[in-house]
C-alpha cells in the first residue's frame, strides 16, 4: 500500500468515526449522518480497494487512480453542499413565516389589551399566506 492510499484510507476512516461519534453525541441528525456515512464508506472502499478505484478512473478518463478518489470526494462534497443549501433555504422560509405569524399575534394581543377585552378562546387563528414551493 503506497503512502497516498494509506493517507486516504486513514482520512476516510477518521471521517467515518467522527460522523459516528457526532451521531452518538446527538450533534448530528441521523438524516444528515446517512449522507456523510455513505460518502465516507464509498471513499473508504475506493481508497482501500485499488482495483475498483482504477476501474473508476478508467471509466472517467482519469490518468491517475488517486485523482479519481479526490474526484469522488469532491463530487460527494458538492452533493452535500447542494443538499444543505436546500435545507438552509427551507429553514429560512420557515423562520420568515414564523416571524410574520408572531408579529401578527403580537399586534392582535396589543389590540385586545387596548380594548380591555379578554381574548376569545375560540377566536379564528391568524394565518399568513405561504409562499409557493415552500
Contact between 107 and 85 (Cβ < 8 Å) = no
- pLDDT of 38 strictly over 60: yes
Q: Within a domain: residue 123?
A: no
Could you tell me which residues come within 8 angstroms of residue 104 by beta carbon, excluding any fewer than 6 positions away?
126, 128
pLDDT per position as a tens digit, 8-32: 889 989 989 999 999 999 998 888 8
Q: Is residue 124, in this structure, part of any structural domain at all?
A: no
Residue 132 placed within a domain: no
Residue 134: pLDDT band with limits 50, 70, 90: very low
pLDDT digits (tens, 9 = 90+) for 99-132: 999 999 999 999 999 998 766 655 566 565 555 5
For residue 126, give the nearest of 111, 73, 48, 90 by alpha carbon.
111
- Residue at grid coordinates 484510507: 9
Q: Is position 103 within any domain?
A: yes
Q: Is residue 75's pLDDT more than 80?
A: yes
pLDDT number for residue 121: 59
Domain housing 59: 3-115
Asked if the structure places residue 120 within a domain, the reply is no
Residue 84 located in a structural domain: yes
Separation of CA 100 from chain center: 26
Number of domains forming the structure of the chain: 1
Amino acid at each position: 500500500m503506497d503512502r497516498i492510499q494509506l493517507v486516504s484510507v486513514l482520512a476516510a476512516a477518521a471521517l467515518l468515526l467522527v460522523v459516528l461519534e457526532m451521531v452518538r453525541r446527538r450533534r448530528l441528525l441521523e438524516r444528515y449522518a446517512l449522507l456523510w456515512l455513505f460518502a465516507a464508506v464509498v471513499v473508504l472502499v475506493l481508497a482501500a480497494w485499488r482495483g475498483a478505484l482504477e476501474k473508476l478512473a478508467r471509466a472517467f478518463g482519469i490518468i491517475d487512480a488517486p485523482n479519481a478518489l479526490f474526484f469522488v470526494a469532491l463530487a460527494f462534497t458538492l452533493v452535500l453542499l447542494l443538499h444543505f443549501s436546500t435545507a438552509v433555504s427551507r429553514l429560512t422560509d420557515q423562520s420568515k413565516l414564523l416571524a410574520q405569524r408572531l408579529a401578527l399575534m403580537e399586534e392582535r394581543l396589543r389590540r385586545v389589551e387596548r380594548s380591555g377585552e379578554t381574548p376569545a378562546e375560540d377566536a379564528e387563528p391568524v394565518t399568513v399566506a405561504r409562499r409557493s414551493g415552500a
